[in-house]
Amino acid sequence: MLALIITISCVFIDQITKFLVLQNLKGSSPIIVIENLLTFTYVENRGAAFGILQNKKWFFVVITVVSVLILLYVLFNHYNTLPMWLLVSLSLILGGTIGNFIDRMRLGFVVDFISVRFFNRYNFAVFNLADSFIVVGAFMLMIYILFLEQKRSK
């Protein structure tokens, strides 16, 4: 049940923010939230992270469907045996993946809007909340594999 709540919450939050971005930022000037650090700007990403593999929609569709099926299999077939940390990490990854998949299928691109600048000099790739959920989930998964799984198996 927790996995379903986290996944649906991630998809809902992601899609609401992207809807607001489409309504308020598309065709408008960027919104500076924190000068030289955080800006909201409208970007249509037809590729993957950092804009690689532009216009390879069907490649991403296949990869996403396979990823979602694997995550669903693990979550539903091993739900009662998964540690909470792992359950949350996989649910975040699933929610973010579905959020970006909805964009790709509905719009033909992923809506990105969060622009971060480091040390007033380095611009990071523009991203969205689904990307953030995936990264946080992947980071949690990495921590689990590197540090927590060993303790659990002993």
103 assigned to active site: no
DSSP letters spanning 75-91? HHHSGGGS-HHHHHHHH
Report the alpha-carbon distance of residue 23 to residue 46 in Å, rounded: 19
Separation between Cα atoms, residue 122 and residue 37, nearest integer Å = 10
The catalytic residue among 91, 113, 126, 131 is: 131
Q: Is 131 a residue of the active site?
A: yes
Q: Which of 75, 86, 112, 134 is catalytic?
A: 112
Q: By 3-state DSSP, what share of the chain in percent is helix, strand and coil, each rounded to 5?
A: 65, 15, 20
In DSSP terms, 114 is beta-bridged to 40, 127
By annotation, the residues acting in catalysis are 112, 131
